[in-house]
Amino acid sequence: MGVLAVLIFPLLLFGISGIIYIYRAVGRLMSKSAVQNKVVVITDAISGLGKECSRVFHSGGARLVLCGKTWEKLEALYNALISVADPSTFTPKLVLLDLSDINCIQDVAKEILDCYGCVDILINNASLKVKGPVQSISLELDKKIMDANYFGPITLTKALLPSMISRRTGQVVLVNNIQGKLGVPFRAAYAASKHAAQGFFDCLRAEVEEFDVCISTVSPTFIRSYHVQPEPGNWEASIWKFFFRKLAYGVHPMEVAEEVLRTVSRKKQEVFMANAIPKAALYIRTFFPELFFAIIASGVKEKQKLEEK
C-alpha cells in the first residue's frame, strides 16, 4: 500500500502528460488534414513568420502560392521547402508582390488566381514597422506604413474576395498585432495602420458570413526574431519598463505559424496571442482608460528623464 501511494503521483503525472501529448499530436494532424489540397496564398512569405507559415502549410499538403518582394529570396524559400518535402506535397508557386505598391496589386491578384483558378485561403502576413516620436515621422513615411499594413492587404483581399463569394467558400486570415487593439508610445503610425486593418476585417467578417467566407484575425504581441532575451538595462526594474519588456519579448514565428494553421482548420474568428501582462493592459485600457493613459504617460516621462541623464 505504501509503495502504491508513493507511485500514484508520478504515474498520474505521466498519464496526464501522455494524454496532453496525444491530444496535441491529434490536433496537429487534424489541422494539417484541413488544409490538404487547399489553395493557400501567403503574403510576405520570405519574412520569418512567412517562412514558418509556408513550412507548416506545405507539410500539410496545401497548394501554396508564395508572395514576396524579392525573387531570389522566394527561390531560396522554394528550394528549402522542396528539399524536405514529402513527395506527395505540391510544388509551390511563386509570385512577386510588394503590397506597398498599390497600383500593381490588381494585376498580381489575377496572376495569383491564374495559378490554380481559385483561392481557398488568403493569409495577409505582410507588415512594415517604424518607431519614433510622432513629430519626427514624416507624412511620407506615415503613408508608406498605411500602404503596406492597411491599403495593401485590403486591396488584395478585395481583389480575391469575389472568387470566394461566388464559390461560397474561403477564408481570409489577417496576421495583425496587439497594437491593432492597444497603442504603444513611439509607434503611432504602426499602431494606426494596425487599428485600421483590425476595423476593416471586423466589418468584413459580418458582411461575408452569409457567403460562408470566414474572416480571422491572429494578433500576437510582438513576433520576435531572436532566441535569447536582451539584457536588461539600468532601469529594467521600473513597472512601466517591465510592462514594455513583457510586450517586446513576444512570441516565436513558429508558434504564430502553428496558431495560424489551427485558426484556419478550426475557422476561429479571432485569436489574441499574449501573456498575462498584455491581456491585463488591454483589460485596463477597456475598463479603466484614464488609469491606462496615466501609466503610459508616466512611462514616457520616465524614459525621457533617463535619456537626459
Q: What is the pLDDT of residue 228?
A: 44
- SS3 string, 39-72, reads EEEECCCCCHHHHHHHHHHHHCCCEEEEEECCHH
Residue pair 222/247 in contact (Cβ under 8 Å)? The answer is: yes
Q: If DSSP codes are grouped into helix, strand and coil, which group holds residue 73?
A: helix
Q: What is the pLDDT of residue 249?
A: 59
Q: What is the pLDDT of residue 259?
A: 97
- Per the domain annotation, does 60 fall within a domain? yes
- Per the domain annotation, does 14 fall within a domain? no
- Per the domain annotation, does 184 fall within a domain? yes
- Cα–Cα distance between 225 and 222 in angstroms, integer? 9
- Per the domain annotation, does 241 fall within a domain? no
User: Would you call 190 a catalytic residue per the annotation?
Assistant: yes
Q: What is the pLDDT of residue 95?
A: 98
Between CA 9 and CA 16, with CA 13 as vertex, the angle to 5 degrees is 140
Q: Domain of 52?
A: 29-228+251-276
Q: What is the pLDDT of residue 18?
A: 61
Cell 481570409 -> residue: 172
- Cα–Cα distance between 158 and 152 in angstroms, integer? 10
- Per the domain annotation, does 242 fall within a domain? no
CATH number of the domain enclosing 83: 3.40.50.720
Residue pair 145/128 in contact (Cβ under 8 Å)? The answer is: yes
Q: What is the pLDDT of residue 276?
A: 84
- Cα–Cα distance between 247 and 185 in angstroms, integer? 12
As for how many domains the chain has, the answer is 1
Q: What is the pLDDT of residue 127?
A: 87
For the stretch 161-173, pLDDT in tens is 999 999 999 999 9
- Per the domain annotation, does 261 fall within a domain? yes
- Cα–Cα distance between 187 and 26 in angstroms, integer? 40
Measuring CA to CA, which residue among 181, 98, 190, 196 is closest to residue 142?
Answer: 190
Helix residue ranges, H only, 209-288: 239-249, 253-266, 276-287
Q: What is the pLDDT of residue 116?
A: 95
Of 78, 116, 150, 190, which residue is the catalytic one? 190
- Per the domain annotation, does 121 fall within a domain? yes
Cell, residue 235 = 532601469
Query: pLDDT below 50 — which residues of the chain?
Result: 21, 23-31, 226-237, 239-240
- Per the domain annotation, does 101 fall within a domain? yes
For the stretch 183-228, pLDDT in tens is 888 999 999 999 999 999 999 999 999 999 999 999 998 877 544 4
